[in-house]
Amino acid sequence: MRVLHVITGLGTGGAEAMLVKLATATSAAVTQCVVSLLDEGTYGAVLEAAGIPVVALRAGGVRDLPRAVRAVRREVRAFAPDLVHTWMYHANVVGGLAALGTGRPVLWNIRANRITRDVERTATVLLARASGPLGWLVASRIVCNSDAAMQAHAGWGYPRGRMLRVDNGFDTARLVPDPAARQALRDQLGVADDVSLVGMLGRYSPIKGHDAFIAAALQVAGHGSAPHFVLAGPGVDATASPLREAARPLGGRVHLLRPTKPEAFFPALDLAVVPSVDEAFPNVLGEALSCGVPAVATDVGDCARVLGDAGRVVPPRDPAALAAAITAILDLPAAVRQGLGRSGRARMDREFSMARIAERYVALYRELAR
């Protein structure tokens, strides 16, 4: 079976990471090629190293979209896939139009929940809302990674009968509780093992809720265990980052790090926090749970469903509620808190392993190819 993936870009992000995980997990059963509308980004070299060719179109904006459609159509003819699998709104439109009339089924992949102007560019919001009618014309099926996303997009006119949920998948053999990784990061930060460490991993963006995390940390700072707080991700450690000024009252108890791998970050924590303003299914929540770490997450998208009984959910944009949930979990006896982590880890391994999710995609590919 041959699958041509089309994605907006290959920089750091949840959709990009999921494409890489899926492509590598299914490489034995599926011959694949990836087209990036932008450049090779962070993950292009990873895909190439796995034997999956990457074509970067370097389309620069709306004016380049007709050229991008023509270029993807050429790739469809050259690669002769059994289906075209597109990722994110721009690629859904370009890939769908490029495959139109070629006889190849198109699988759209939607990775967002509600797209609003306060967290996304206006052009992206307009494209997301306007793509629904096009889905009736070009999309054979539409995968969403959350129930919430399916409901939101159906409300915008996307063809609900063609939509299905396929969850994010996680390498639960790599993402594990790891005492060595725990000690290594704590040594780097100068945080003793008996000090509570609360952390957040994610790119610096309004949608991720860094401001709520810092505001909650300031309220939790007086907690009896005197916890430390750590944030990591693209843009987080920038010298001019507003995070540094906002976190100044915490002094040496807050740590801002460069991007780091989740398997090196989450095992060091006693509690992970996902304070997003909006998400469908944040990868970092599944990564934290896979590493055996309980979590506090905002009640957006499918976070409550994914978290289960391994932590607490709170309203978005509510630092007081976030602080109260963090304090409540830190106040639990260590054995109880660790039990929450074990429960989350077991659910991830049972329901969200990459092997399980890859099987669902391969079955879907075969259904569409028929």
In sequence order, what are the residues at sequence separation of 6 or more whose Cβ sits closer than 8 angstroms to the Cβ of residue 325? 296, 311, 312, 314
8 A C-beta contact, residue 278 and residue 116: yes
257 within domain boundaries = yes
HEC-encoded secondary structure of the chain: CEEEEEECCCCCCHHHHHHHHHHHHCCCCCEEEEEECCCCCCCHHHHHHCCCCEEECCCCCHHHHHHHHHHHHHHHHHHCCCEEEEECHHHHHHHHHHHCCCCCCEEEEECCCCCCCCCCCHHHHHHHHHHHHHHHHHCCEEEECCHHHHHHHHHCCCCHHHEEECCCCECCCCCCCCHHHHHHHHHHHCCCCCCCEEEEECCCCHHHCHHHHHHHHHHHCCCCCCCEEEEECCCCCCCCCHHHHHCHHHHHHEEEECCCCHHHHHHHCCEEEECCCCCCCCHHHHHHHHCCCCEEEECCCCHHHHHCCCEEEECCCCHHHHHHHHHHHHCCCHHHHHHHHHHHHHHHHHHCEHHHHHHHHHHHHHHHHC
pLDDT for position 64: 84
Distance CA 363, CA 275 (A): 34
174 within domain boundaries = no
Residues 25 and 117 in one domain: yes
Residues 61 and 146 in one domain: yes
Tokens of 336: 């109880």
Which own/partner pairs from 304-309 qualify as long-range (CB within 8 Å, at least 24 positions apart)?
Answer: 305/146, 305/147, 306/167, 306/281, 306/352, 307/344, 308/343, 308/344, 308/347, 309/340, 309/343
Tens digits of residue pLDDT in 38-58: 999 999 999 999 999 999 999
The pairing of beta strand 311-314 with beta strand 197-201 = unpaired
59 within domain boundaries = yes
Tens digits of residue pLDDT in 167-197: 999 999 999 999 999 999 999 999 999 999 9
Distance CA 180, CA 203 (A): 25
pLDDT for position 115: 72
Range of the domain at 206: 179-351
- 368 to 5, 28, 87, 136, 320: CA distances (angstroms): 14, 19, 17, 16, 48
32 within domain boundaries = yes
Tell me how many domains the chain contains: 2
Q: What is the CATH number of the domain that holds 58?
A: 3.40.50.2000
**Neighbour order of strands in the sheet with 295-298:** 254-257, 228-232, 197-201, 271-274, 295-298, 311-314
pLDDT higher at 261 or 12: 261
Distance CA 81, CA 3 (A): 5
Residues 333 and 184 in one domain: yes
Residues 340 and 362 in one domain: no
- What band does 358 get if pLDDT is binned at 50, 70 and 90? very high
Q: Which residue has the tokens 């870009």?
A: 9
Residues 216 and 163 in one domain: no
Among candidate residues 185, 174, 179, the one with its CA nearest the CA of residue 286: 174
Residues 150 and 205 in one domain: no
Tens digits of residue pLDDT in 244-262: 899 999 999 999 998 899 9
Distance CA 116, CA 214 (A): 23
pLDDT for position 237: 84
Residues 33 and 145 in one domain: yes
83 within domain boundaries = yes
Side chain identity, residue 176? V
- What band does 240 get if pLDDT is binned at 50, 70 and 90? low
Distance CA 102, CA 230 (A): 50
Residues 13 and 162 in one domain: yes
Residues 207 and 288 in one domain: yes
- What band does 119 get if pLDDT is binned at 50, 70 and 90? low
Mean pLDDT of 25-40: 96
- Is pLDDT at 12 greater than 90 in this prediction? no
85 within domain boundaries = yes
Residues 67 and 186 in one domain: no
pLDDT for position 154: 95
Residues 165 and 193 in one domain: no
Side chain identity, residue 204? Y
pLDDT for position 120: 72
Tens digits of residue pLDDT in 275-313: 999 999 999 999 999 999 999 999 999 999 999 999 999
Tens digits of residue pLDDT in 312-357: 999 999 999 999 999 999 999 999 999 999 999 999 999 999 999 9
259 within domain boundaries = yes
Residues 218 and 124 in one domain: no
pTM confidence score: 0.92
- Is pLDDT at 142 greater than 80 in this prediction? yes
